Amino acid sequence: MTRIVYLNGDYLPETEARVSIFDRGFLMADGVYEVTSVLDGKLIDFDGHIRRLERSLRELEMSCPISSADLLTVHRELVARNGIDQGMIYLQVTRGNPGDRSFLFPPADLPGTVVAFTQNIPNLADAPAAKVGFRVITIPDLRWSRVDIKTVQLLYPSMGKMAAKKAGVDDSWFIDEAGAVTEGTSNNAYIVKGNRIITRALGNDILHGITRAAVLRFAAEAQFEVEERAFTPAEAQGADEAFATAASIFVMPVVEVDGKPVGTGKPGPVATRLREIYLDEMRKAAI
């Protein structure tokens, strides 16, 4: 079945959707995006994603041509029209089409481009990978210094995914100049030592994960100690457990770092329990 997508106020078959070659999202990666999970036909943490979208737009001095209320309508309509029970909705907002290429921002009143589409993933909540865990390698973090803004300039994360694929593993973790882990290619990174969950503090050098915020809240409520600081690959290899979080993977155990097992080399009880708590609580709160 051909997907129905959203483009600037219209719902269209994906084969009919067109964006100008002069759109700044295409020419300059001048745009931001969000990915919202869908479980049981409902949106997970939609308000959190919209708040982060608004922050990203502010940081880039970009306006959004559609209201938050209308974005909710669009998301729900796409779920309904495409019959999504489990999956994702990708939303992208760019600075629009100025009619030619220029490094300078176009006038502020130029309408932006808004695109949204669904990805049907029937086993999103029961992903087989969660039962065996991710294996990761580490690579230098060569991204620009404002990765807290969720922009569409994803070439280096894509290269990180490809480096992992070529190494026969699941993902790459980025390492800063000090030798500490920043985050994964499309997820936040954590280690577990005893009752303590350790993850890098928020700043310009990591994405302010919506799933991260929810998982840390649930962890604190479950009486885990949360420590926000940098950690090294060696610490991860010596930890009891490790895991990653994102809207696309929820809570994913990490069982190997640079070829060395973490803990028992299998998904541990903390990551497994946090995944259960997250899915249960977010399903209750879904809209």
Could you tell me which of 99, 125, 121 has the C-alpha nearest to residue 110? 99
Tallying the residues shown for the chain, one arrives at 287
CA distance 74 to 68: 10
Is 150 noted as a catalytic residue in this protein?
yes
**Checking DSSP bridges between strand 134-140 and strand 171-175, what pairing results, if any?**
parallel
Q: What are phi and psi for residue 138, nearest 5 degrees?
A: -110, 140
- CA-based end-to-end distance of the chain: 25
Choose, from 150, 166, 260, 284, the residue flagged as catalytic.
Answer: 150
Distances (CA, A) of 121 to 14, 38, 89, 145, 282: 18, 9, 11, 32, 17
**32 and 53 in contact (C-beta within 8 Å)?**
yes
**261 and 240 in contact (C-beta within 8 Å)?**
no
Question: Can you list the alpha helix ranges (DSSP code H) found in 124-186?
Answer: 129-132, 155-166
For the annotated catalytic residues, the residue numbers are 150
